[in-house]
Amino acid sequence: MNKKFLIPIVALALVSCAKNETLRPADSHLSEITFNVAPKTKADEAHGHKSFDSNNMFVSWAYYLAPGNTWPTEAASGELYIDRAKITNTNPTGTDGIWKCAYKDYYWPKGGGSLTFFAYSLNKANVDFNVVGTGPNSHVYCDVSHGILAYLDLNVDPNTDFLVAEVAANKTQNEKEHFVNGVPTLFKHKLSKVAFTVKANSYENKSFTLKSIAFDKIVYYLAYGQVANTYTLGTDKYSPNYTSTVLPITTTKQNITAEDNYIFIPQKFADDALIVVTYDITTTVPGHPDVVETVKKKVKLNSKFTDGWEPGKKYTVDLTFSLDEITWDPAVQDWENVTAADITIK
């Protein structure tokens, strides 16, 4: 694996987080720091915001800037105030829970000044909040000037839904931006998602069975920087199976199960990056054994996704099977809705 691009950012993150660990105690009358995570208003829904699952958790950092200083102009003067705090909902099964640190109470600082917050989530509960996944190369750090710095290895930790919240800069108190009081925390998907549907044209004595969908030679490693919005890809590639479920294909469109909506590194594709579809064509003739032919079709990803896979987008590809060809009807949906062109594989 090519890791040359990791060293400068890691060093920067470690130096920054070790720089200041002084907590400025709050006066007793100042309110506790909570987080306003889940958009619930009609306005939020109109802008495509969805509620953050109250069973999930996220990780937050905050940096203190003295009175007269603001982020990002004086970011270098920021002092670490909250360090990698695990944020959970106090009542995940109800409607009255608040988002706060799971193991310590934090309060707004006394004597003026402001806090700037950074946060990320894996969009699930009960995860090791010190790392992204089980792989030794998947980690998340924070730096006051650069924000969230992440290193993601989807070969080791597949299907990681990496979310990063917008920077909540220069805050002095909880705010009621959505429905509850707290630090405004709006998460956005930073990776790409791909889903497939399948159907077949109708034939009198022919049937189709999907055997597998796979990708070939796509990048799986990413170094991400929040403030500069940098995506630095590794050079190593892999060939993951999207699904190996044997599925009879009918004339009715079928969604391949939700678990097979796979998440990948946003990227553009070289000519050798492929989708590979393997399926059987069965010919039935009364009085004779069935004849089964296994077919493998390949298509270049850069001919189908001309802009590559972009952050925050879910690409849905409708596959239609016939005797002569598979047709491809790709589209993008929420995460972000975009319609792509029809593509045919011969």
Tell me the pLDDT tens digit for each residue of 154-189: 998 888 899 999 999 999 998 876 556 789 998 999
Lowest mean pLDDT among 117-126, 275-284, 329-338: 329-338
What is the value of pTM for the model shown?
A: 0.83
pLDDT tier for residue 133 given thresholds of 50, 70 and 90: very low
Structure tokens at 292: 């089964």
- Kindly provide the residue ranges of all beta strands, DSSP E only, lying in 106-167, ordered along the sequence: 114-121, 139-143, 147-153, 163-165
CB neighbour list of residue 57: distance below 8 Å, 6 or more residues apart: 86, 87, 88, 102, 121, 125, 126, 127, 129
pLDDT at 169: 97
Q: Which of 122, 119, 118 is nearest to 131 (CA)?
A: 122
Q: Could you give all domains of the chain from N- to C-terminal order, each with its CATH number?
A: 7-189 (no CATH), 192-218+236-345 (2.60.40)
Q: What is the pLDDT of residue 282?
A: 95
* Residue ranges with strand state E in 286-325: 291-300, 314-321
